[in-house]
Amino acid sequence: MTARSLSLSLSLITALAAACGPSQEELDTANARIAELEGELDEARSENTDLNERLGEVEAQNGQLANRLRALGENVEQLEGERSNLAATLEERERALAELRERQRQAEERLQTFRNLMQRFQSMIDSGQLRVRIVRNRMVVELPEGVLFDSGRARIKDDGEATLSEVATVLAEVPDREFQIAGHTDNVPVGRRSRFDSNWELSAQRAVNVARFLVTQGMPANRISAAGYADTQPVASNDSDEGRAQNRRIEIVLVPSLDELPDLSSLTQDG
């Protein structure tokens, strides 16, 4: 029974006792009941006070719990964000590592190709028919003028054709590679009786004739180009006969493939 109900019961009993003029026994009984109800009322009030105190404690605990949950939620969101950032970083590093491994694989493949070419050309290198150099990270097969041409001439000699035939056999086995045939001269001008106006024409015609011959030996024409450089790219000093002899040469340059070149797409401008 609640405190309010007890209070109403107590008031009702007191009123009834006063209105009816009860006997002494009835009055004693009523007083006893009143005393009993007053005791119950006191207990109910005490319980109500305890309940209010407990309710306050529970509300305080609920507030603390709500604050903890809110803080926990913020921490969880922060941790989720950090995890997403970490995953993105790891994914980027994995992608960069994969690209690095691919470049390393390509570099090792190119290196093995060059090693194989060196081995195939070794006997020709030993006999002085050609030499192999690495120029600006490109492999260059260099043939001296004396092996291929007579002085001031662009027609390939018979011995030169035999040498170029061997070279073509080796180069034709290199897959997916383009070659540039480059003609070079010393700085001595062509003679007055020469059919060429200058060393430019002489170097270019020699390069073209070598390119054409390589095509007849089975090398694909769409993988070969020719260029004349005259005396603009010497490999030795032109102040001596030995130096000028080194400068008069034909170079077969292994042109880098597209995947060996840096990606310059970010430098292009739209529109």
pLDDT tens per residue across span 107-161: 787 778 788 888 888 999 898 899 988 887 788 999 999 999 999 999 999 999 9
SS3 of residue 66 by DSSP: helix
CATH 3.30.1330.60 fits 127-258, yes or no: yes
Dihedral pair phi/psi, residue 198, rounded to 5°: -160, 175
Taking only the tens place, the pLDDT of each residue in 209-236 is 999 999 999 999 999 999 999 999 999 9
Other C-beta atoms closer than 10 Å to the C-beta of 188 total: 14
Q: What angle do CA 46, 39, 18 make, to 5 degrees?
A: 130
SS3 of residue 257 by DSSP: coil
Taking only the tens place, the pLDDT of each residue in 181-199 is 999 999 999 988 889 999 9
Average pLDDT over the chain, rounded to whole?
Answer: 82
Q: What is the mean pLDDT of residues 64-90?
A: 74
Give residue for tokens 């092996």.
147
Give residue for tokens 């390069």.
207
Q: What is the DSSP string of 117-128?
A: HHHHHHHHHHTT
CA distance 50 to 254: 96
CA distance 203 to 141: 16
User: What proportion of the chain, given as a percentage, has pLDDT over 90?
Assistant: 38
Other C-beta atoms closer than 10 Å to the C-beta of 146 total: 15
| Distant-in-sequence, close-in-space partners of 182: CB < 8 Å, separation ≥ 6 | 207, 226, 227, 228, 229, 250, 251, 252, 253
Residue-level pLDDT at 217: 94
Residue-level pLDDT at 144: 94
Name the residue ranges covered by the structural domains of the chain.
1-18+25-107, 127-258
Task: With beta carbons less than 8 A apart as the criterion, state whether 254 and 244 touch.
Answer: no
Task: With beta carbons less than 8 A apart as the criterion, state whether 206 and 228 touch.
Answer: yes
CA distance 170 to 148: 18
CA distance 223 to 178: 4
Say which range, 42-56, 177-191, 249-263, has the weakest mean pLDDT: 249-263
Residue-level pLDDT at 267: 44
- Amino acid sitting at position 22: P
